[in-house]
Amino acid sequence: MGAAAVAGAASARGLGSANDTIRVAVIGLRGRGKDHIKAYSKMPGVEIAAVCDIDEKILNDRVNEIAASRHRKPDAYTDLRRLLEDKTIDAVSIATPNHQHTLQTIWSLQAGRHVFVEKPCSHDMFEATQIVAAAKKYNRIVEHGSQSRSMPSVLDAMKKMREGLIGEIYMARGLCFKWRDTIGHAPEEPVPPGVHYDLWLGPAPEHAFTKNRFHYNWHWFWDYGNGDIGNQGIHQVDVCRWGLEVKYPYKISVQGGHFMFDDDQETPNVLTATYEFRDAAGKQKHMAFEVRHWISNHEAGMDGGSKPDPNTMGAVFYGSKGYLSIDAGGRYQSWLGKDQAAGPSGHEDANHWQNFIDAVRSGKPSDVNAPIDEGAISTTLVHLANISYRVGRTLYFDAENYRCEGDDEATAMFRRKYRAPFVVPDEV
C-alpha cells in the first residue's frame, strides 16, 4: 500500500498518524493509569505519545518510567485541554477519579479522539445520558472499562447460560466483599507542592485539601466517588445485568450503613441492594447486590483458587437447573441439578485495552466488547442504588421518562451542581 493510501485509510478511521501507529494519551497516572500504561506499552503499533496528571511528581515519574522502558519519552501535561490541542493524538485512555470521567470523555470526543474510559463512566444519572449522546454525535470509538466483557471464559459462561446450562435464570447476585480498613480522620492542610488542585476538583465543589479526599480515598466521598458499588462493584453489576439479559430496573431498594469505624468516609461500607427487572419477554428477573468491607465469607467457589484471597468478588446466577458463578478474575464454575454436581468451568483472561485498540484500527463500533451505551446502563444501576440509600426509601424508576415516579427529591439527585467552567453541557 502506498503512503497516500495508508494516510487515507488512517484518516478514514479518525487517526492522526499516517503510518498506522495508534498514538495514545493516558490520563490519570497514579493507580489504574499504571495498568493502562503497562497494557499499551506491550502492544505493537501503539505509542504512548502523551500522559497527563494533575500531580507533577506522579507525572514526572511516569514520563521517566516510560522513557526508561525504551519507549519514546511522551509529552507531559497537567491539563487535558492542552493535551487535546495536539492533533496527532488518536486515542485518549482515561483513568482519573469518577467525577471527571464524563466531562473528560466529552472533551476528548469533541476534539475528535477515540476514548477508553474507566468505570463507572459517569458520576451521576445525567452524565450517563450525556456520555452516550456524545459518543453517537462525534462518531468515535468509546469503550467502557468493563474488562469482563473481553474475557473469553466469561464469554463462554454467558454462551453456556444462553444455551440453557442452568435452565431459566431468574436471579443474579453481585458480591463485593473487600477487606478495607478505616481511613481515619485527615485534617485540612495546604495543597502539596506540584499538585494542581483546581484541576483535580474539576466539576466538584470547592473544598479544602485533605489527604482523605485525594489519592484513592476520594472513592468514599460523594463529591468524587460512588462508594464501593461504583468502584469495584460496577464490574459485578455489569456482569449480573449482562447475564440476566436486562436493561433498566423498575424497582430499587437499598439498605446499609457505615459501620465499625469513626472516620471521614461518607459512603456505606455495608450495602444491600435489590433490583426488579422485566426482560424483553416481560418476565420478572431479580438481582441482589452486596457490599461488605472488613471480614466476610467466600461464596460459590470464589475464594481466589490456588491463591487464596480474603476478598470475594463476583456474580452468581441461579436457574431452574443449577447455578453458576463468575469471579472478578474471570473464572467461572457451575453446579447442576438437585445434587449440585460440578458442571462446566473455565478461566481465561484477556487484554481489554487490546480490544479498544483493535476497534480503533477497524473503525467499527461493532468490534467494541464493552460499548459505552452498555456501560452507561450498568452505571445507572450504581447511581440508583446510591440514591435509594441516601434518601432512605424504595425507588420506582421510569426508564422511558428517565425519572423516579412520584419522587422529586430522588429525581433531583440525577444531576449534580457543577463548578464552572467544568460543566457537563445539556447539548454535547
Query: Is the pLDDT assigned to residue 212 strictly greater than 70?
Result: yes
Q: According to the model, what pLDDT value does residue 215 have? A: 94
The yes or no reply on domain 152-349+379-412 and CATH 3.30.360.10 is: yes
Query: Is the pLDDT assigned to residue 1 strictly greater than 50?
Result: no
Instruction: Compute how many other C-beta atoms are within 10 angstroms of the C-beta atom of residue 347.
Output: 17
Which three-class secondary structure state does DSSP give residue 30?
Answer: coil
Into which CATH architecture does domain 3-148+354-371 fall?
A: 3-Layer(aba) Sandwich (3.40)
* Interval 227-270: pLDDT, tens: 999 999 999 999 999 999 999 999 999 999 999 999 999 999 99
Q: Mean pLDDT for the chain? A: 94
Question: Domain ranges in the chain?
Answer: 3-148+354-371, 152-349+379-412
pLDDT band at 384 (very low <50, low <70, confident <90, very high): very high
Q: According to the model, what pLDDT value does residue 72 have? A: 87
Describe the crossing of helices 32-41 and 56-68 by its angle, rounded to 10 degrees.
20
* Interval 111-141: pLDDT, tens: 999 999 999 999 999 999 999 999 999 999 9
Q: Are 293 and 281 in contact (CB under 8 A)?
A: no
Distance CA 55, CA 270 (A): 32
